[in-house]
Amino acid sequence: MTTVFEQVHSRRRRQLLGAMGSSLALPLAGLPTLARAADPLQVGGLPVTCNLTLPIACSARGGAFEFSKYSGWPEIKESLMTGRIQAAYMLAPLVMDLADRKIPLKVVSLGHRSGAVIMVRTDSAFKRFADLRGKRIAIPSRFAVDFLFLRKMLARENMSPKDVQILEMAPPDMPAALYANAVDAYCTGEPFGAAAQRAGYARPLSMTRDEWRNYICCVLTVREELIKSNRPLVQDLVNHVQAAGNWLDASPVNRAKAAKIAATRKFFNQDPKVIQFVMDNPADRVTYGDLRMIRAEFDDLMKLSIEAGTLKRPVAFEQYVDESFVKAIKPVSIAL
């Protein structure tokens, strides 16, 4: 970032060069660029593998976008509502709710598919959801699609959330809570299931890859003012997120690179071995290549959210989704 002195010096230099150019026709090709580069677009996200396309897009684009790490959905929600940030990965039902409250936001891309797990202790006797009747189950938030996944699995056993004790808890705290027997199970996105599984004291009772293949959770969301003021930047971001998704699913080598990139302090600041465990066990634990925004899938998500009480009423698809950027995608190269 330039200092005030540098800005004044730069302005004076341009004036001098302009005056000299008309009389001396000096060649300017060898002079340094004087215009100040635009600040990178801050894009909010959580250190979760459902958001993995964001660190890859930021790394591939080289300075146009910057990962802004948050500790929870309430903080991202507040930053988007107030305009502190203009773009973020958000929970899809939360975006629906905000749009219904006239907050000017639009979903412009998916970020992933699948990626949620319900974990129990390795030494527990739990084999199916009926075994969890009366037990304590942690979820990140009642707006989280993880909660809807839990409801789906309970419904298959003719159970409801009233048949278990549901606690809201920050995902990073869940593995330790399970280890200490403070909860009997937890439902969340990765890598917080994999962390406990890799440590040996937890196992998946259920995974979205097996039970809800078209599961969507985190979606790329931008404020409408950014769309109006800088459509090319939003398009560039969508292009790179979608390209990052294709790149991640293209090969195990790319996934290994992604684990190392995301693990750095600049992004997730996590153990790369845990992220790699998510990438490998199994390889489709989280998927990124199919980022189509399908109206019927959002409608289904909205219906489930209304049934869960996290949404008060239906919200029109066009009220919270802008498909124009996905429809206008141009392929870009991910060279990492």
pLDDT digits (tens, 9 = 90+) for 29-72: 333 333 334 789 999 999 999 999 999 999 999 889 999 999 88
Look at residue 11 in the predicted model and tell me its pLDDT: 40
Look at residue 35 in the predicted model and tell me its pLDDT: 30
Give the mean pLDDT of 227-246: 97
Number of helices followed by number of strands (H, E) in the chain: 15, 12
CA–CA gap between residue 65 and residue 232 (Å, rounded):
13
Q: Are residues 207 and 229 in the same domain?
A: no
Last-in-domain residue among 211, 235, 269:
211
Q: Are residues 69 and 202 in the same domain?
A: no
Q: Are residues 108 and 120 in the same domain?
A: no
Last-in-domain residue among 211, 242, 257:
211
CA–CA gap between residue 165 and residue 250 (Å, rounded):
41
- At residue 157 the predicted structure's pLDDT band, cuts being 50, 70 and 90, is very high
CA–CA gap between residue 86 and residue 44 (Å, rounded):
8
- Would 36 be classed as within a structural domain? no
Record the pTM. Answer: 0.86
CA–CA gap between residue 94 and residue 92 (Å, rounded):
5
Q: Across all residues in the chain, what is the average pLDDT?
A: 89
List all residues 6 or more positions away from 228 whose beta carbon is below 8 Å from its beta carbon.
none
Sign of the torsion formed by the C-alpha atoms of 52, 54, 58 and 61: positive
Query: Is the CB of residue 189 less than 8 Å from the CB of residue 86?
Result: no
Last-in-domain residue among 211, 234, 251:
211
Look at residue 143 in the predicted model and tell me its pLDDT: 84
- The CB-side HSE value for 103 (13 A sphere, CA atoms) comes to 21
Backbone torsions φ then ψ of 304, nearest 5 degrees: -65, -35
Q: Are residues 170 and 242 in the same domain?
A: no
- Would 29 be classed as within a structural domain? no
Q: Are residues 61 and 129 in the same domain?
A: no
Helix, coil or strand: residue 251: coil
User: Encoding tokens for residue 290?
Assistant: 């199919």
Look at residue 26 in the predicted model and tell me its pLDDT: 29
- Would 234 be classed as within a structural domain? yes
Helix, coil or strand: residue 321: strand
Query: Is the CB of residue 118 less than 8 Å from the CB of residue 185?
Result: yes
Q: Are residues 130 and 206 in the same domain?
A: yes
In terms of Cα–Cα distance, which of 85, 48, 40, 96 is closest to 65? 40
- Would 277 be classed as within a structural domain? yes
- Would 6 be classed as within a structural domain? no
DSSP conformation letters of 106-150: EEEEE--EE-EEEEEETTS---SGGGGTT-EEEES-TTSHHHHHH
- Would 143 be classed as within a structural domain? yes
Q: Are residues 199 and 301 in the same domain?
A: no
Which domain covers residue 163, as residue numbers?
Answer: 116-211
DSSP state at residue 88: E
Q: Are residues 138 and 92 in the same domain?
A: no
| pLDDT tens per residue, range 108-131 | 999 999 999 999 999 999 999 999
Helix, coil or strand: residue 35: coil
Do the strands 136-139 and 185-189 form a parallel or antiparallel pair, or are they unpaired? parallel
- Would 163 be classed as within a structural domain? yes
Q: Are residues 99 and 140 in the same domain?
A: no
| Interior/surface letters 300-313, b for 16+ CB within 10 angstroms, e for the rest | ebbebbbebebbee
Q: What is the CATH number of the domain that holds 158?
A: 3.40.190.10
Q: Are residues 88 and 58 in the same domain?
A: yes
Q: Are residues 131 and 159 in the same domain?
A: yes
Query: Is the CB of residue 183 less than 8 Å from the CB of residue 154?
Result: no
**Other Cβ atoms closer than 10 A to 331:** 8
Per the structure, the count of domains in the chain is: 2
Give the mean pLDDT of 77-83: 94
Distance from the Cα of residue 46 to its chain's centroid = 6
- Would 291 be classed as within a structural domain? yes
Query: Is the CB of residue 185 less than 8 Å from the CB of residue 125?
Result: no
In terms of Cα–Cα distance, which of 134, 124, 117, 118 is closest to 185? 118
Identity of the residue numbered 181: N
Look at residue 38 in the predicted model and tell me its pLDDT: 73
Residue 131's alpha-carbon distances to 121, 127, 181, 201, 211, in angstroms, are 13, 7, 16, 19, 18
Q: Are residues 175 and 145 in the same domain?
A: yes
